[in-house]
Chains A and B, each alone.
Chain A
């Protein structure tokens, strides 16, 4: 039989921090136990590792020696050159035939010009072979470490993709969890014992921890891939940008999570979530597109590094390109932190006031007014 109720020890209201912890724990445990989440995370990490390894090993796979057919008298001259697989044939006609057949990429036969050589090829000049056989002028590189524009583009793309995919994944998770509680009305039972702010804080904390863990895992996999392949770019050039990315993403995600929770509190049914969260989705997608468009435009990146929504992507890019003063990332971080605090205040008001309103979706301005 039930223990006598009146004699049970009287407990007070659960302290705020403890309630936040309990809510956050549930968010994390629920997510981590979900098979689909574990599988998709494993696939994501495997893909990233594969991409990192491929990006450094890949080019070598296709970097085969050029097969060159030649006559006996020229063979000794060519044999000494790197990157050529020399095949010695009987006479210039045999060489010509081999190039036509495709058994050789190019052929070298005695010629009339000043070099005394004629290079044979199908339809395109074999530039590597011509280079090897040419006399080159002296070359001096003034900035050998300047970022490769193509590489810069891909690094920008990578930060952008990781930012928006993680933000959307966990933003949707928090939104679904809010609307699940609202739809099932369990939120009424919770509100009878803990404050709306404790529930919101717990949800934001739990999902931020999850998002942070995922970003750390991604960063670890990227750096691990770098270590495996001995990539100088990843280990030297991207170390600091990745650190800044993780830092700014974590703060930025707290802000986005609070917004997602507030947006989800406005609706009563999971079906309405898409409409409610689409403005936030836009906010997350914008920095991704901007960084792809402007990854070579220092002014645009500078502006984006002070806009809270794009800072997590723009700041690491600028750190990588070394186009900023040492204190600028710190200022960006400060701007982001202040803005995040303001957003949390705003989100808490909306969340608190919309949680019990059921039926049609509540409008943002009504949620603040009522």
Chain B
């Protein structure tokens, strides 16, 4: 598990991160969400040790991270970069060796990754001759070539077509399934909502929400239900319930407890046919907007 503990960092008087703490659990895909300038990249650079925090610490399995730990992390920086004029396979082998692999291991692993990412035929081409999407795949391969024990990816899906998103996702899930913590940032909330097991929402250098989707919903949005029945007017009279939307046979309401909601359902059944009754999962986009405000 990767833990970020009370990290603060400022640049020229501008506070980029303020007392930021969160965990990235083993085997889970954790989405790191925030508007541009929220501090995601700074936080990731600090996790990788590329940047030093003003205060706070990064921990691995409860102990302070070491250079040896970090050498085994996989990292994909936001602004993509590999050597433009170097062959794809060669760069991967080079990066693998810098991470301490033998040339043979690095070549074998790089070949397998390129195969998996659908880049095998382009392995001897220079990076600059690849399409942007393929450069992106090569970049992902670069983060994975040394079989990292943790993955930190800054905007891994930006610029990918839907097919490439799926292939990339499959590769990342493999890493998570094998037990590594995976942290990736994105400002595409729909993608994050679909892919992540867990979320960290950052705004103005502070963590505004963290946890699984359900935890975040529970903490930051009151649960809602939708009932469709003959005449739903009675719902307004039930204590502990607040109607949010009403249109004859359709009502959307929020209730303080599940028991209050159950009372609405019971009442509805007594009064006649219930066409549907269900909790509403509010899209994260809405919660996000409330949370970062």
| B113/A11 in contact, CB under 8 A | no
Instruction: Kindly specify which of A190-198, A253-261, A328-336, A341-349 makes contact with the partner chain.
Output: A190-198
Interface size class of B (residues with CB under 8 A): 35 or more
| B175/A12 in contact, CB under 8 A | no
Select which of A5, A184, A188 is within 8 A of B83 by beta carbon: A184
Provide the residues of chain A in CB contact with B112, threshold 8 Å: 2-3
Bound CA span A358–B274, Å: 62
Instruction: Say yes or no: is B189 at the interface (Cβ < 8 Å to chain A).
Output: no
Q: A184-B84, A191-B50 are in contact. Are A22 and B149 (CB under 8 A)?
A: no
**Chain B 69-107 near chain A by CB (<8 Å), digits 1 or 0:** 011110111011111101000000011011111000000
Provide the residues of chain B in CB contact with A180, threshold 8 Å: 83-84
Instruction: Say yes or no: is B116 at the interface (Cβ < 8 Å to chain A).
Output: yes
Bound CA span A24–B82, Å: 17
CB distance from B83 to the nearest CB of A (A): 6
Instruction: Say yes or no: is A365 at the interface (Cβ < 8 Å to chain B).
Output: no
Provide the residues of chain A in CB contact with B94, threshold 8 Å: 22, 26
Select which of B45, B97, B99, B178 is within 8 A of A4 by beta carbon: B178
Cβ-closest chain A residue relative to B112: A2
Bound CA span A8–B146, Å: 9
Provide the residues of chain A in CB contact with B146, threshold 8 Å: 11, 193
Question: Which interface residue of B76, B81, B98 has the most chain A CB atoms within 10 A?
Answer: B98
Instruction: Say yes or no: is A13 at the interface (Cβ < 8 Å to chain B).
Output: yes
Q: A13-B71, A14-B71, A188-B81 are in contact. Are A2 and B171 (CB under 8 A)?
A: yes
Select which of A13, A30, A189 is within 8 A of B95 by beta carbon: A189
Q: Name A173-189 residues within 8 Å CB distance of B.
A: 180-181, 183-189
**Chain A 1-20 near chain B by CB (<8 Å), digits 1 or 0:** 11111111011111000110
Provide the residues of chain B in CB contact with A189, threshold 8 Å: 75-77, 81, 95, 142-143
Provide the residues of chain A in CB contact with B144, threshold 8 Å: 2
Bound CA span A190–B68, Å: 14
Q: A185-B77, A185-B80, A188-B81 are in contact. Are A356 and B98 (CB under 8 A)?
A: no
| Interface residues of A, count at CB 8 A | 34
Select which of B50, B70, B147 is within 8 A of A188 by beta carbon: B50
| A14/B50 in contact, CB under 8 A | no
| A190/B83 in contact, CB under 8 A | no
Select which of A11, A183, A185, A188 is within 8 A of B71 by beta carbon: A11
Provide the residues of chain A in CB contact with B84, threshold 8 Å: 180, 184
Bound CA span A14–B67, Å: 10
CB distance from A234 to the nearest CB of B (A): 40
Instruction: Say yes or no: is B29 at the interface (Cβ < 8 Å to chain A).
Output: no
Provide the residues of chain B in CB contact with A188, threshold 8 Å: 45, 48, 50, 75, 77, 81
Provide the residues of chain A in CB contact with B97, threshold 8 Å: 14, 22
**Chain A 180-221 near chain B by CB (<8 Å), digits 1 or 0:** 110111111111111000000000000000000000000000
Bound CA span A309–B174, Å: 56
Select which of A5, A26, A190 is within 8 A of B175 by beta carbon: A5
| B98/A22 in contact, CB under 8 A | yes
| B75/A11 in contact, CB under 8 A | no
| A5/B79 in contact, CB under 8 A | no
Bound CA span A7–B149, Å: 9
Q: A5-B149, A184-B83, A185-B77 are in contact. Are A192 and B72 (CB under 8 A)?
A: no
| B98/A19 in contact, CB under 8 A | yes
Instruction: Say yes or no: is B180 at the interface (Cβ < 8 Å to chain A).
Output: yes
| B100/A12 in contact, CB under 8 A | yes
Instruction: Say yes or no: is B205 at the interface (Cβ < 8 Å to chain A).
Output: no
Provide the residues of chain A in CB contact with B143, threshold 8 Å: 189
CB distance from B126 to the nearest CB of A (A): 12
Select which of A4, A6, A190, A356 is within 8 A of B51 by beta carbon: A356
**Chain B 167-184 near chain A by CB (<8 Å), digits 1 or 0:** 000010011001110000
Provide the residues of chain A in CB contact with B101, threshold 8 Å: 11
Provide the residues of chain A in CB contact with B67, threshold 8 Å: 13
| B50/A356 in contact, CB under 8 A | yes
Question: Which interface residue of A1, A19, A188 has the most chain B CB atoms within 10 A?
Answer: A188
Bound CA span A7–B174, Å: 13
Instruction: Say yes or no: is B223 at the interface (Cβ < 8 Å to chain A).
Output: no
Q: A188-B45, A188-B75, A189-B77 are in contact. Are A8 and B147 (CB under 8 A)?
A: yes
Bound CA span A183–B83, Å: 10
Bound CA span A10–B83, Å: 27
Select which of A4, A12, A185, A191 is within 8 A of B79 by beta carbon: A185
Cβ-closest chain A residue relative to B142: A189
Instruction: Say yes or no: is B39 at the interface (Cβ < 8 Å to chain A).
Output: no
Instruction: Say yes or no: is B148 at the interface (Cβ < 8 Å to chain A).
Output: yes
Select which of A5, A11, A30, A184 is within 8 A of B100 by beta carbon: A11
| B99/A193 in contact, CB under 8 A | yes
Task: Please name 20 pairs of A and B residues whose Cβ atoms are closer than 8 Å in the assembled complex, sorted by A.
Answer: A2-B113, A2-B116, A3-B147, A5-B148, A5-B178, A6-B180, A8-B149, A11-B146, A13-B67, A14-B97, A180-B84, A183-B81, A185-B81, A186-B83, A189-B143, A192-B75, A193-B70, A193-B71, A194-B98, A356-B45
14 extra interface residue pairs, beta carbon distance < 8 Å, beyond A5-B178, A26-B94, A185-B79: A2-B116, A2-B171, A4-B179, A5-B180, A14-B97, A22-B94, A180-B84, A184-B82, A185-B77, A185-B80, A188-B45, A189-B77, A189-B95, A189-B143
Shortest beta-carbon contacts, A-B, top 3: A184-B81, A185-B81, A6-B179
